[in-house]
Amino acid sequence: MSYVEFDEFKDMANPQLELGMKFSSFKTFKLACRNWGIQNRRQIRFTTNDMKRCICKCQRFKSSNCEFRIFASHVGKDDSTVQIKSINLTHSCTKVNKNYHVTSDWLAEKYIEQFRVDPNWSVSGIIQRVKDDLKFEISRMKAWRAKKKAMEMMNGDEKSQYLKLHSYALELLKTNPGTTVKMTQHLGVFQGIYICLAPLKNAFNSGCRPLISLDGCWLKGQYKGHYFNCR
């Protein structure tokens, strides 16, 4: 009998857990359980958690006699794949309004694209969005920390991208002979880059009217600046 393999890139946002499902590691399995708890407004916890097996139960398994339980272990002695060996997803307890697995790190990662689009997203806006999407209440401090972490993640991205500019310029020149790339700097600090790709240059010279119009925009993010392109 073949069992479903959990795809951590596709399935993690809203895990559908089932008997026999396979995971690449205990770490992935636990993350999937946490996300299942968040999506279903349940507080889960791991009562057994070692290198051989992992048992996930409801936080209220004692106080409410809730029988929710997922047991996972390795597929076999020579196979480190983790598999759900028994599962009962039914809760006899009520849903929760807070979940300690909704951390500021988790929020920063979940809403990173929203932070990218709107770096000025307000703390009260974040709180309301979490309430609308997940029905959870989070504190102002948690929302603020999530925003701070998301900004750090994005700024880190931006810095690493600027560091790749020189390699990018060399690659453009190598793969597009005839291309013009000029980079300017002042005291070792990047000031700007001009790129004219060879196919566009050739097409313009061979058939276009001698008219150039420019379009531009402000660059948001950590380093600001302007971006112009020829139309």
Among 17, 38, 44, 66, binds Zn ion (CB under 5 A): 66
C-beta closer to Zn ion: residue 48 or 180: 48
- The neighbour count for residue 72, using CB atoms within 10 Å, is 24
Q: Does 96 bind Zn ion (CB under 5 A)?
A: no
The letter for the amino acid at 193 is I
Residue 48 Cβ vs Zn ion, minimum distance, rounded to whole Å: 17
Q: Six-digit token pair at 103?
A: 């951390």
Residue 93 Cβ vs Zn ion, minimum distance, rounded to whole Å: 4
Query: Which residue stretch of 59-67, 80-88, 119-127, 157-165 sits at the interface with Zn ion (rule: CB under 5 A)?
Result: 59-67
Query: Which residue stretch of 46-54, 62-70, 106-114, 187-195 sits at the interface with Zn ion (rule: CB under 5 A)?
Result: 62-70
Among 22, 91, 142, 149, binds Zn ion (CB under 5 A): 91
C-beta closer to Zn ion: residue 19 or 96: 96
Dihedral sign of CA atoms 115, 120, 123, 128 in order: negative
Among 17, 58, 72, 143, binds Zn ion (CB under 5 A): 58
Rounded distance between C-alpha atoms, residue 210 and residue 213, angstroms: 10
Q: Does 93 bind Zn ion (CB under 5 A)?
A: yes
Q: Cα–chain-centroid distance for residue 7?
A: 15
Query: Which residue stretch of 20-28, 68-76, 137-145, 212-220 sits at the interface with Zn ion (rule: CB under 5 A)?
Result: 68-76
Rounded distance between C-alpha atoms, residue 192 and residue 213, angstroms: 20
Q: Cα–chain-centroid distance for residue 139?
A: 22
Residue 9 Cβ vs Zn ion, minimum distance, rounded to whole Å: 29
b/e code 101-134 from CB counts within 10 Å (16+ = b): bbbbebbbebbeeebbeeeebebeebbebbeeeb
Residue 68 Cβ vs Zn ion, minimum distance, rounded to whole Å: 5
Residue 88 Cβ vs Zn ion, minimum distance, rounded to whole Å: 10
Radius of gyration of the chain (CA): 26
Query: Which residue stretch of 53-61, 140-148, 177-185, 216-224 sits at the interface with Zn ion (rule: CB under 5 A)?
Result: 53-61
Contact by Cβ (8 Å): 20, 84: yes
Total residues contacting Zn ion by CB under 5 A comes to: 6
Q: Six-digit token pair at 74?
A: 């390795």
- Residues of this chain that bind Zn ion (CB under 5 A): 58, 60, 66, 68, 91, 93
